[in-house]
């Protein structure tokens, strides 16, 4: 999964097509590459960028700058970067519900929130069976409106990306019905549950185990007929020396995963076929924490990578709900 470091002296825009940062590891990836598209840096100056979400109706991207306790916004129309929300309670992951409202994971508030149409913030969940959540991390919405999120310890381990505190719950993945407030644990016993996404038909839930021993992993679970429970846990990708973080699925079922940490030759995005075979890579000069699809056809990949935001057009659309 490694490759030659393309950025020994820092990132510069490519001067030619096709962009050498986009690499086919298998011929199956060739059809997803656009020969006349290149990686672009949209913004820089963050401390740790995370949780991107696309708002097509407003033509802007939102993402978290967690240590700076703010949510940022990039305008597709003007290219301008501005603060969307500050302070943000150390928000991390974001998505939109099926009514278009912003859903957010807060480290500081240890809760899941929804930003209403008028800008007010509603707490959807901050406790389970009377105990406080840890630090909700990543979040997705199923087509039935249910909200699924991971709840590791990361945001309460110190005061850089949240507020140091003692955990009251184990590290779990939850399914929440936002209409009734009913929540259940759907996956437990995972070392650092992190990024989440559904397969295109929602029959599989993928979960990144970012503190797995001996290696980080991408796990897969079958979604039961009730749509709210999981079975048949299995490893789809053993990351070996890599560190997957956030991920999204495209309409063909491929997994696009933020990657890096440790070896700079691994920094960027790894792309895996549904069977876990690595097929493509997008090299970046910084570790990529998370990503999302957006743009007019939901085929522009936005990547939150440490201190910067990058984007590239690809020849496939992302699955809705991520």
User: What is the tens place of the pLDDT at every residue in 57-96?
Assistant: 999 999 999 999 999 999 999 999 999 999 999 999 999 9
CA–CA separation, 304 and 318 (whole Å): 16
Which residue has tokens 């199923």? 142
What's the number of CA atoms in the CB half-sphere (13 Å) around residue 112?
31
Tokens of 10: 């820092």
* Position 54 in a domain: yes
Per-residue pLDDT band at 158 (split at 50, 70, 90): very high
Among 292, 316, 322, CA closest to 74: 292
Residue 151 lies in a domain: yes
Is 71 within a domain? Answer: yes
Predicted local confidence at residue 9, as pLDDT: 66
Q: Is the pLDDT of residue 241 over 90?
A: no
| Separation of alpha carbons 62 and 294, rounded Å | 11
Q: What angle do CA 197, 155, 228 make, to 5 degrees?
A: 35
pLDDT averaged over every residue in the chain: 95
Q: Stretch 137-146: mean pLDDT, rounded?
A: 97
Higher pLDDT, 30 or 321: 30
By DSSP bridging, strand 131-132 and strand 268-272 are unpaired
Distance CA 274, CA 253 (A): 6
Confidence class for position 4, pLDDT limits 50, 70, 90: low
CATH number (domain holding residue 80): 2.120.10.30
pLDDT digits (tens, 9 = 90+) for 89-137: 999 999 999 999 999 999 999 999 999 999 999 999 999 999 999 999 9
Residue 246 lies inside a defined structural domain of this protein: yes
**Does residue 162 carry a pLDDT above 90?**
yes
Q: Name 284's Cβ contacts closer than 8 Å, sequence gap at least 6.
A: 7, 11, 21, 39, 260, 267, 268, 269, 303, 305, 310
Whether 237 is in a domain gets the answer yes
pLDDT at 3: 55
Residue 318 lies in a domain: no
What confidence tens digit (pLDDT) does each residue in 194-209 have? 999 999 999 999 999 9
CA–CA dist 145, 161 (Å, integer): 29
Segments forming the whole domain that contains residue 233: 48-252
* Rounded distance between C-alpha atoms, residue 58 and residue 152, angstroms: 32
Give the span between the Cα atoms of 137 and 71, in whole angstroms: 15
pLDDT at 11: 80
Q: Confidence band (pLDDT; 50, 70, 90) for 263?
A: confident
- Tell me how many domains the chain contains: 1
Report the 10 Å Cβ neighbour count for 203: 13
Q: Is the pTM of this model over 0.85?
A: yes
The answer to whether residue 27 sits within a structural domain is no
Inform me whether the pLDDT recorded for 187 exceeds 70. yes
Under a CB-based contact definition with an 8 Å cutoff, are residues 301 and 293 in contact? Answer: yes
DSSP state of 250: B
CB contact at 8 A, 147 and 179: no
pLDDT value at position 198? 98
Mean pLDDT for the stretch of residues 38-48: 97
Average pLDDT over residues 283-308: 97
DSSP reduced 3-state for 170 = coil
* Residue 222 confidence (pLDDT) above 60: yes
Please state the rounded mean pLDDT for residues 285-308: 97
Does a structural domain hold residue 261? no
């Amino acid at each position: 999964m490694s490759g030659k470091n393309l950025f020994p002296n820092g990132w510069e825009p490519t001067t030619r097509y096709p962009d050498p940062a986009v690499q086919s590891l298998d011929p199956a990836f060739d059809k997803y590459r656009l020969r006349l598209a290149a990686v672009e840096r949209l913004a820089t100056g963050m401390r740790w960028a995370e949780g991107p979400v696309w708002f097509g109706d407003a033509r802007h991207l939102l993402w978290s700058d967690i240590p700076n306790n703010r949510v940022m916004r990039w305008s597709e129309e003007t290219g301008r970067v501005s603060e969307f929300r500050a302070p943000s309670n150390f928000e991390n992951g974001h998505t939109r519900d099926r009514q278009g409202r912003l859903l957010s994971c807060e480290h500081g508030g240890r809760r899941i929130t929804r930003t209403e149409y008028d800008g007010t913030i509603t707490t959807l969940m901050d406790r389970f069976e009377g105990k406080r959540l840890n630090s909700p991390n990543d979040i997705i919405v199923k087509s039935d409106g249910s909200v699924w999120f991971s709840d590791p310890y990361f945001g309460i381990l110190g005061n850089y990306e949240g507020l140091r505190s003692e955990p009251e719950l184990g590290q779990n993945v939850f399914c929440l019905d936002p209409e009734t407030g009913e929540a259940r644990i759907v996956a437990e016993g995972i070392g650092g549950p992190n990024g989440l996404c559904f397969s295109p038909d929602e029959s599989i839930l993928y979960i990144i185990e970012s503190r797995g021993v001996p290696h980080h992993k991408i796990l897969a679970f079958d979604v039961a007929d009730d749509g709210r429970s999981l079975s048949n846990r299995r490893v789809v990708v053993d990351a070996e020396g890599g560190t997957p973080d956030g991920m999204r699925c495209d309409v063909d079922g491929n997994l696009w995963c933020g990657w890096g940490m440790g070896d700079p030759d691994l920094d960027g995005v790894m792309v895996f076929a549904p069977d876990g075979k690595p097929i493509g890579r997008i090299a970046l000069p910084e570790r990529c924490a998370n990503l999302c699809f957006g743009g007019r056809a939901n085929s522009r990949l936005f990547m939150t990578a440490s201190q910067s935001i990058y984007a590239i057009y690809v020849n496939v659309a992302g699955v809705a709900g991520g």
